[in-house]
Structure 1
Amino acid sequence: MPEILTVDAFDDAAVDAWWDAYAAARRADMGEHALVWTREESRAELQQPSATTKRTAYVAMDRGAVVGSGSLALSLKDNLHSAALGVNVPPQHRRQGVGTALLTHIEAEAVAAGRTTMRVDILWPASAPADGAGQPNREFARRHGYEIAIGDLQNRLELPVPDGVIDDLRAGTPESDGYELHSWRGAVPEHFVAEWAALDAVLDTEAPTGELDIEAASGDVDDVRAHEELLVRQNRTSFGTVAVAPDGGVAAYTQLVVSGDDGNAYQWGTLVRREDRGHRLGMRVKLANLWMLQRESPQTPRIYTFNAESNAHMLAVNTRLGFIPTARLAELQKRVATSL
């Protein structure tokens, strides 16, 4: 059996070996549609002290070589019952007990921290069945007691979107109902950040959650600022847009983040406040943010986004923008008994 070791985030060689195993596994599974955090993005996240999340990386060692990698993320302010796990084994080391050894070790670490809900995200090609039947990573997870809590689609939009397409979509949205759009590059402006944080905190519970055992995040402004500092260290650039309601409150927000390493843009949160739904604000803020991105970062080749398959409204918005599905992602879950 392989030996499981904790990675020192400040040991460059150890982090490199951990990342190499992660990237090799992802690329083997997803080919051209693999989305892989870059080496330096991953290193920066592991190294940054965080008030919200404790992150630990692991490697499986066999005869002095790294044969697999894993990760554990424990939320420190909310969702104290859950743990996010990752297991990645390059194809040449599979079916040798490496994945099982990693998963068993990381689950034990989570249980020791008092966590009772284990969460794992896995991906497979869009052409495969929606339930992942027959996909190696899905069958591995099933054998270890993980079931799909919610299914997502990975979608891609090639850029640039012609201005005429954006204008046509804008023409179908109201312009005189009292909502004002504000866009920026970089940190969230101080006069919006508290409400931005509050909306972002409920994103995971306001969007479709399926069977996920999850609660809203803390919504702390200091945490937003700390995450913005991490983005800078990761060579990422944030583009944000909000819609301000007639009452002066932030009614909707959206965020795109561009990786300075791989060049792509990634759609992060988009949410409309409950009392402001029905005004097509989701489309409006996304169009404004896309328009800004294409002018501020014209070299960005594409945008990737993930949406729950049950989120028909947001998928319809993305389809109108020109997104196409490229992969499926399943958010898996297993409940365990704590040893405490």
Structure 2
Amino acid sequence: MLEIVTVDAFDDAAVDTWWDAYAEARRADMGEHALVWTREERRAELQQPPVTTEVRAYVARRAGVVVGSGSLTLSLKDNLHSAAIGVNVPPQHRRQGVGIALLAYVEAEAVAAGRTTMRVDILWPASAPDDGAGQPNREFARRHGYEIAIGDLQSRLDLPVADDVIDGLRAEAPESDGYELYAWRGPVPEQFAAEWTALVAVLDTEAPMGDLDIEAATADVEDLRADEELFVRQNRTSFGTVAVAPDGSVAAYTQIVVSGDDGNAYQWGTLVRREDRGHRLGMRVKLANLWMLQRESPQTPRIYTFNAESNTHMLAVNTRLGFVPTARLAELQKRI
């Protein structure tokens, strides 16, 4: 008989078995291109006080053996209509009804929390069709009412990038137009914190969003500081760069986060304010941040990033930097 239970975030053994099922399923699906949050990163996320976001974990057990894992992420300040769902079943336990049962259970939990839009992210190899046709996870999601709201590319940049490549790209961007760049390692400096959070808050709605049913997030410096404290517990290091306009306001930002556990760097948000576009600020802040990363963390072997396939401008920037596609990610959506 299949049993689904909520994982106690402070029960180390329970979290370990939940993570094991998650990691095994991801690696089976994506092989060398699987991106898996480490055990301790996910443990810290589950244990984070539910102030801005609540994360719940579930396991499916049969005869005492964990055969699948699930997750539910609920924003507590904005997008109160939506829920992010994860379902992972190791290959040896598939086609036994585990995924169906887990999905139904987590959806019911989301509905009980008042959510009406369910979101799921799935990946498949870059060599597969753009729409994931024939991929087992895509076909499973389709059967349960999930359709692609937007398609993304997962890309990788092997480090280091030669200084002459960075310098050559820098030479193409104007530097005499009054914008100044500031870069740092660690928490966002206080003088930039409010405007940084304002840009981060609108990232999802300013970037291509396809058919995603989302609204801009809440901008709150206290939430930023809470996220930075979580980084410390997750053994992550943030590298940030902003472009400051002639009037002193923050016109663009970018952020790379390095995992101290798996060693990789992950490109998080990059955004240029609408009124400041046309100055190649996206390229300029990314180059400055990359240059800093390579000097502050020379042991970092690669950077991973995700971009909407419709975001041709940012994909062109990444191609110039040397990123290569490694997988496709679909952001799926279902309204209940």
Opposite residue 96 of structure 1, the aligned amino acid is Q
Q: Distance in 2 between matches of 1:55 and 1:32?
A: 27
Report deviation, 1:67: 0.1
1:21 corresponding residue in structure 2 = 21
1:245 corresponding residue in structure 2 = 245
**Paired-residue identity, %:** 86
In structure 2, the residue corresponding to 1:86 is in which secondary structure?
strand
Are 2:159 and 1:159 aligned? yes
Q: Distance in 2 between matches of 1:2 and 1:197?
A: 44
Are 2:331 and 1:331 aligned? yes
Report deviation, 1:101: 0.3
Report deviation, 1:50: 3.1
In structure 2, the residue corresponding to 1:239 is in which secondary structure?
strand
1:204 corresponding residue in structure 2 = 204
Report deviation, 1:307: 0.1
In structure 1, the residue corresponding to 2:121 is in which secondary structure?
strand
1:123 corresponding residue in structure 2 = 123
2:56 corresponding residue in structure 1 = 56
2:234 corresponding residue in structure 1 = 234
What aligned pairs does 1:61-80 form with structure 2 within 5 A after superposition?
Answer: 61-80=61-80
1:172 corresponding residue in structure 2 = 172
Report deviation, 1:51: 1.2
Per-residue deviation, residues 150-177 of structure 1 (Å, max 9, x unmatched): 0000000000000000000000000100
Stretches of 4+ moved more than 4 A in 1?
none
Report deviation, 1:293: 0.1
Are 2:154 and 1:147 aligned? no
Q: Distance in 2 between matches of 1:50 and 1:262?
A: 26
**Structure-2-length-normalised TM-score:** 1.00
Task: Give the paired residue count.
Answer: 336
Q: Distance in 2 between matches of 1:101 and 1:162?
A: 50
Cα root mean square deviation, aligned: 0.5
Opposite residue 216 of structure 1, the aligned amino acid is A
2:182 corresponding residue in structure 1 = 182
Q: Distance in 2 between matches of 1:107 and 1:3?
A: 16
Per-residue deviation, residues 90-129 of structure 1 (Å, max 9, x unmatched): 0000000000000000000100111000000000000000
Report deviation, 1:205: 0.3
Is there any run of 5+ residues in structure 2 with no aligned partner, and where?
none
Per-residue deviation, residues 62-111 of structure 1 (Å, max 9, x unmatched): 00000000000111000000000000000000000000000000000100
Q: Distance in 2 between matches of 1:299 and 1:118?
A: 39
Report deviation, 1:2: 1.5
Per-residue deviation, residues 23-62 of structure 1 (Å, max 9, x unmatched): 0000000000000000000000000103111110000000
Q: Distance in 2 between matches of 1:70 and 1:179?
A: 46
Is there any run of 5+ residues in structure 1 with no aligned partner, and where?
none
**Structure-1-length-normalised TM-score:** 0.98
Per-residue deviation, residues 160-217 of structure 1 (Å, max 9, x unmatched): 0000000000000001000000000000000000000000000000000000000000
Q: Distance in 1 between matches of 2:49 and 2:113?
A: 18
Q: Distance in 2 between matches of 1:50 and 1:234?
A: 16
In structure 2, the residue corresponding to 1:213 is in which secondary structure?
coil
In structure 2, the residue corresponding to 1:122 is in which secondary structure?
strand
